[in-house]
Structure formats: structure tokens, C-alpha cells
Amino acid sequence: MKSPVFSFCVFVFLFTSNSFAQEASATSSAAKEQNQDQVESAQSIEINNVKNPDWKSYKTMLKGLDAFEKHHAHAPRAEHKFILKPRKQEASLIGVSLRLATDEFSRPIVLSEDGSFSLPRDSQAEAQSAELMINRKKDLFRWWPLVRSPAVLPHQRRLGDLRLECEMFWAIHYDDLPFVARNLVRALGGPCNTKKVTLSFPAEFMGLKEAILVQGERRQNLVVDKIKSSYTLSLLNAEFTDDALIELIYESIEGNSQEPRLRNFNGLNVTAGF
């Protein structure tokens, strides 16, 4: 079962304050205040690579389902789902199949065209330590939780959805983290519940220009990495409720406006300051 879900490369005592500060200077003062803990910290651990198996332990994935049910209040109208996200341009979902299997049985899991699927609870599969397997070699796809509340537009992300995705991510990938990073992030309360941790979420497409956290009249510009087409924030922000929306604004496409945007194949990046 080897195939990453999101990349994790751990750099202990990595001095990132200068580059982060330069990026933050291009944003509003509100974004600077949100990331003050990380910018002022001279030392941090940046996590951007983990094991990426072409299979996943069913018991491990059930931890994500348990987290969804425990923290469902963040997105009460959303249904639990996971998604296989291509890591490379050549990784097509055409012909990809997913099954829950042991040495004694194999149960197909319905995979939607976008790679999303629901995970059933199966006592037999759990008792026999079943595995979720795809018919592709490793390193082509990421295993990712997917939370999308109804009525959220394609260019928007709901803050409560991201908070719930984070809880599912943490539950699934906790054991994949190197020992030092795992215990550091855990000591901080987990990545979803501390201002000491920021998460950089990849936008669906390349060419992200701006990301603005909006609720009513309150607006906050988020730090954007234009190279990775990602936006960064701390999910612990009492000023914004779960219903706040992140508006994603892309660079305009020159020439043919009908030209499809390039998909973003980057993974989640987690930075913990200390």
C-alpha cells in the first residue's frame, strides 16, 4: 500500500521567516496579523512530503471517517467523501478502479469521474485488516478528504469545510509524519487548532492571483504562493465563523478565454512555528 496523499518533507530548524515576510509584505495588514506568529518565529518545521502508497489501510481511512463524524458541526450539510487527486499531468482517472480487499474478499468502491468516493463501514473488512487499493502504480495519486458544503461555488472554499478537511487529514496522516514533526504538531494542539500552524491549500487550478477570506463586511487577504497556486491561513481564527468564504481569484487567461485552466497538482503544505 504505498502512494502519498500529501507530500511531507521535514526540515527541522528551517529558517523561513525572511521569505515568508517578503511574501506577506505584498498582502494587507490583516493577513500580516494573521501570520504574525509564523513570521516572527525564527525557527519552524515545514512539512511537505509523506509516503504516498497506491493502497491505504482501511482502518486508517476509517480514522478519517471517525473525524468527519466527530467534527461534522463544522460542515453540517456536507456528506463525507474522499478523493483521489492526480499528482502528475499524466495521471489520468480514466480506467482507475478502487476496491476494498483482503486475502479472502474484494469489494468494489464506486469512484466518481472526479475521483471522489464515499467510504462504507464494513465490519468484516475492518476485522480482516482490509486495504483500499487502486489499479495504478504508486506516486500517481494522493488520498485526500473532500468536504464541500452545498451552494459553495467552484471558485470558493467555505472555512468550515476546510476545518473539517483538516481534522480528517490529521486523523489519516498522523502516523505518516516523522516522529519529531508528529510530536511537535501534536504538542501544539494539532494543525487545525493552533495559530502556531499554518496550512497552504492548493487551489484547484494554477494561476491563483488572490485569496480573500470574506464574512459580511469583514475581508482579509490571505498570503498567496503564485508559483504553487496556493493560499495560506491558520484555521484557528475566532474572527471568522465556519460560514466564512474564501474567494479565489485567478489570473486572466490571455488570448482564448475558452482555454481551460491548468490543473494544480501540488499538495498540502503545513508549517509549524515554534
The rounded mean pLDDT for the chain is 81
Residue 16 pLDDT exceeds 70: no
Query: In the predicted model, is pLDDT for residue 129 greater than 70?
Result: yes
Per-residue pLDDT, 235: 96
Residue among 210, 229, 189, 195 nearest 39 (CA)? 195
Q: How confident is the model at residue 274 (pLDDT cuts 50, 70, 90)?
A: low
Residue-wise pLDDT for 235-254, tens only, equals 999 999 999 999 999 998 76
pLDDT tens column, 192-238: 998 888 999 999 999 999 999 999 999 999 999 999 999 999 999 99
Q: Order across the sheet with 230-233: list the strands.
A: 10-14, 44-47, 269-273, 197-202, 230-233, 223-225
